Amino acid sequence: MEAGKLYLVPTPIGNLEDITLRAIRILKEVDLILAEDTRTTGNLLKHLEISKPLKSFHIHNEHKIVQHWATQIEEGQTIALCSDAGTPAISDPGFLLVRECVQKGIAVECLPGATAFVPALVNSGLPNDRFIFEGFLPHKKGRQTRVQALAEEERTIVLYESPHRLVKSLQQLAEFMGEDRQACVSRELTKMHEENARGTLAELITHFSQKEKVKGEIVIVIEGKK
């Protein structure tokens, strides 16, 4: 293993069988693992029978400690960065550390692996030859402006959303895009209760409004404007 290198290691988004052999090897070989939540990554490492030092690296401390970890790598440490699920830096902490390492000329290697939006996009049945990934919409400031702009987008649109905001977001999308716009909501991907609900925005609003409680990470895939 090359000394002084940052490895971005994707972790399963649900099914623990989705970890790659290469990811397991890297996690075994690095000096240290940075984790979005040390408890979540700790459980994964326990499952894989890997024992490594774990340090916290999340959205609330990312700005403060980027320089510290970049310096540690520069001085010869090999470090793996993991998010709670999926690929680091995709709507998760990681971008700032990658940018800092790149600017310092530090080697960065991202392993291929699990990420939620790809299976959701493919499962949707909507065109996937051209699409845009928007991640999470702004919670308040700029949200309406963003949705208005997306209403004119001709490519397939991929969004992340939290369960408690799902119905409200679908209603807002329908308001600006029209209730007849085709979409797909994927949740609990790779897990036992995976759901890929397809239909118009109006049909999806009805479907999820009738559920007592929506669980799991949410991916919304929306047809582009025709």
- Listed in sequence order, the residues at least 6 apart from 22 whose beta carbon sits closer than 8 Å to its beta carbon are 111
The CATH number that domain 5-110 falls under is: 3.40.1010.10
The structure's pTM equals: 0.92
Q: In the prediction, which pLDDT does 12 show?
A: 97
Which CATH topology does 117-222 take?
A: 3.30.950
Question: Domain map of the chain by residue range?
Answer: 5-110, 117-222
**CA-CA-CA-CA torsion sign (131, 98, 65, 67):** negative
| Residue-by-residue pLDDT tens, the chain, 226 positions | 888 999 999 999 999 999 999 999 999 999 999 999 999 999 999 999 999 999 999 888 888 899 999 999 999 999 999 999 999 999 888 999 999 999 999 999 999 999 999 999 999 999 999 999 999 999 888 999 999 999 999 999 999 999 999 999 999 999 999 999 999 999 999 999 999 999 999 999 999 999 988 999 999 999 999 9
Distance CA 163, CA 159 (A): 13
Q: In the prediction, which pLDDT does 196 show?
A: 97
Distance CA 66, CA 157 (A): 31
